[in-house]
């Protein structure tokens, strides 16, 4: 899947407090691995995530090999949106 880096960061910033930990726990990952997925650069903590950044508009295009973290983040954002209605 391809997504702009800017959009990936927007999704991360749209998550409610505690979501990084929640995603990590649900997917049996380290919190830092989830942060790395959204563009953090602390590779010595957590796993390096499989994505590749190509220069371009919107901060560049990120190619995601595994979308499970992104999918869960989008579900949490949708849950929050429904709960606030």
pLDDT at position 73 over 70: yes
The answer to whether the beta carbons of residues 11 and 19 sit under 8 Å apart is no
Please list, residue by residue across 14-46, b when 16 or more beta carbons sit within 10 angstroms of its beta carbon and e when fewer do.
ebeeebbebbbeeeebeebbbbbbbbbeeeeeb
The answer to whether the beta carbons of residues 37 and 50 sit under 8 Å apart is no
Tens digits of residue pLDDT in 21-69: 999 999 999 999 899 899 876 655 555 566 778 888 888 999 998 999 9
- Provide the domain limits for residue 21: 2-83
pLDDT value for 48? 55
pLDDT value for 53? 80
Q: How many domains does the chain have?
A: 1
């Amino acid at each position: 899947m391809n997504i702009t880096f800017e959009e990936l960061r927007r999704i991360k910033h749209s998550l409610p407090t505690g979501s990084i930990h929640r995603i990590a726990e649900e997917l049996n990952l380290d919190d830092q691995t989830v942060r790395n997925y959204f563009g953090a650069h602390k590779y010595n903590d957590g796993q390096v995530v499989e994505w590749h950044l190509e220069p371009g508009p919107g901060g560049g295009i990120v190619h995601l090999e595994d979308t499970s973290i992104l999918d869960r983040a989008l579900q949490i954002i949708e849950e929050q949106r429904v709960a606030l209605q």
